Chain A
Amino acid sequence: MEETFTHKKISSIKFGLMGPKIIKDMSSAKIVTPELYDKEGYPVDGGLMDVRLGVIDPGLKCKTCGLKLKECPGHFGYIELARPVVHIKFIDVVLDVLRMTCSSCSRLLLSDEKIAQVAKSFEKLSEITDEKNQRILVKKLIAEAKTLSKCPHCQAKQEKVKLEKPSTFLENEKRINPIEVRARLERIPDEDLNLIGINSEVARPEWMILTVLPIPPVTMRPSITLETGERSEDDLTHKLGDIVRINQRLFENINAGAPEIIIEDLWDLLQYHVTTFFDNEVSQLPPARHRSGQPLKTLTARIKFKEGRIRHNLAGKRTNFSARTVIGPDPKLEINEVGVPRVFAMKLTVPERITTWNEQYLKAFVQKGPTDYPGATYIVRPDGRRKKITDETKEQLLEEIQPGFIVERHLLDGDVVLFNRQPSLHKMSMMCHRVRVLDGLTLRLNPAVCTPYNADFDGDEMNLHVPQTEEARAEAEILMEVQTQIISPRFGLSVIGGTQDAISGNYLLTQEGYKVSYETAVDILMRLGLVDFSRLPKKKEVTGKEVFSVLLPEDLDFKSPNKLYKTEPENPESMVVIKKGQLKHGFMDSSNLGEGSGLLLRQIYKLYGPEKGVLFLGRVYRLGIEVLFIDGFTAGISDIDLTQEGDDKIKSILDKIDKEVLLLIKKFDDGKLEALPGRTEEETLELKLLQLLNRARNDAGAVALDNTIYSNTIDMIKSGARGSSIHIAQMSALVGQQAVHGSRVNKGYNDRTLSCFKRGDKGSLAHGFIRSSFKDGMKPYETFFMAMTGRDSLMDTALRTPKSGYLYRRLANAMQDLKIDYDFTVRDASGKIVQFNYGEDGVAVAKSEGGHINVKRIISNILEN
Chain B
Amino acid sequence: MEKLLEKYSDKLPQKLIDEIVNNVPKNITDKKLESIFEAVYKEYSSSLAEPGECVGVVSAESIGEPSTQMTLDTFHLAGVAEVNVTTGLPRLIEILDGRKNISTPSVEIYLKEPHNKGTDITKIAAQIRETTLRSFLSEINIDITTNTLSVLLNKSKLEELDLDYKIIAKNIEKALKGYKVKCEDDYVLSIKHNKEGNLNDLYKLKEKLKEIYVYGIKGIKQVVPVKRDDEYVIVTAGSNFKEIIKLDFVDTFRTCSNDVFEMEEVFGIEAARQVIINQIMTVLEGQGIPLDVRHILLVSDTMTMSGHVLGINRYGIVKDKPSVLARISFETPLKHLIEAALSGEVDNLKSVIENVMINQPIPVGTGLPHLITRIVNEKKP
Contacts and interface: CB of A to CB of B under 8 A. Distances in A.
Contacts of A15: 324, 337, 340-341, 344-347
Given A311-B329, A816-B351, A832 B305 contact: yes
Nearest to A679: B81
A86 to B, nearest CB: 14
Interface string A186-201: 0000000000011101
Interface residues of A, number: 98
Contacts of A839: 49, 292-294, 297-298
Contacts of A783: none
Interface residues of B, number: 111
A126 interface: no
Nearest to A851: B292
Q: Which 9 A-B pairs have the closest CB atoms?
A: A818-B56, A808-B64, A829-B351, A839-B294, A815-B56, A199-B344, A844-B49, A202-B344, A490-B62
A13 B325 contact: yes
Given A315-B357, A816-B352, 20 more contacts: A10-B360, A13-B346, A17-B342, A93-B338, A311-B329, A425-B64, A678-B83, A800-B68, A804-B70, A815-B56, A816-B54, A818-B54, A818-B55, A822-B51, A835-B301, A841-B13, A843-B294, A844-B50, A855-B16, A858-B43
Interface stretch (A302-310, A503-511, A534-542, A728-736): A302-310
A677 B356 contact: no
Contacts of B292: 489-492, 839, 845, 850-851
Contacts of A805: 68
B89 to A, nearest CB: 6
A863 B358 CA distance: 57
B304 to A, nearest CB: 10
Contacts of B76: 742
B56 A816 contact: yes
Contact of A198 (B222, B343, B353, B354): B343
A303 B323 contact: no
Nearest to B93: A807
B290 A796 contact: no
Contacts of B294: 838-840, 843, 845, 851
A826 B298 contact: yes
B341 A16 contact: yes
A822 B364 CA distance: 11
B63 A310 contact: no
A830 interface: yes
Nearest to B320: A132
A850 B347 CA distance: 39
A862 interface: yes
A318 interface: no
B322 interface: yes
Given A15-B346, A820-B53, A853-B40, A807 B222 contact: no
B167 interface: no
Given A199-B343, A796-B71, A844 B35 contact: no
Interface of B: 13, 15-16, 19-20, 23-25, 32, 35-36, 39-40, 43-44, 46-68, 70-73, 75-77, 80-81, 83, 89, 92-93, 96, 222-225, 237, 290-295, 297-299, 301-302, 305, 312-313, 317-318, 320-326, 328-330, 333-334, 337-338, 340-354, 356-358, 360, 363-366, 368
20 contacts: A13-B347, A14-B347, A15-B337, A89-B334, A202-B344, A314-B329, A489-B62, A490-B295, A491-B292, A742-B76, A804-B70, A808-B65, A811-B60, A811-B96, A815-B59, A817-B352, A820-B53, A828-B351, A838-B298, A842-B49
A493 B289 CA distance: 13
Contact of B333 (A310, A817, A824, A841): A310
A843 B318 CA distance: 28
A819 B312 contact: no
Contact of A678 (B89, B224, B313, B334): B224
A820 B351 contact: no
B195 to A, nearest CB: 39
B298 A818 contact: yes
A820 B57 contact: no
B77 to A, nearest CB: 7
A862 B32 contact: yes
A303 B326 contact: no
Contact of B89 (A300, A310, A804, A845): A804
A270 B179 CA distance: 66
A838 B55 contact: yes
A142 B322 CA distance: 23
A304 to B, nearest CB: 6
B49 A843 contact: yes
Contacts of B58: 427, 489
Contacts of B56: 814-819, 826, 828
Contacts of B64: 425-426, 804, 807-808, 811-812
B302 to A, nearest CB: 6
Contacts of A294: none
Contact of A829 (B15, B32, B323): B323
Given A17-B341, A427-B58, A676-B80, A844 B302 contact: no
Given A15-B345, A425-B68, A811-B63, A835 B298 contact: yes
A788 interface: no
Contacts of A838: 49, 53, 55, 294, 298
A576 B46 CA distance: 29
A304 B334 contact: yes
B67 A848 contact: no
A479 B50 CA distance: 12
A291 interface: no
Contacts of A310: 328-329, 333
Nearest to B58: A489
Nearest to B328: A310
B312 A811 contact: yes
Contact of B318 (A304, A691, A813): A813
A6 interface: no
B306 to A, nearest CB: 8
Nearest to B356: A315
Most buried by B among A427, A800, A832: A800
Contacts of B321: 829
B358 A816 contact: no
A198 B50 CA distance: 43
Contact of A800 (B89, B96, B297): B89
B43 A853 contact: yes
B262 to A, nearest CB: 21
A175 interface: no
Tell me which of A300, A475, A835, A839 has the highest count of chain B C-beta atoms within 10 A of its own C-beta: A839
Given A490-B292, A848-B47, A829 B352 contact: yes
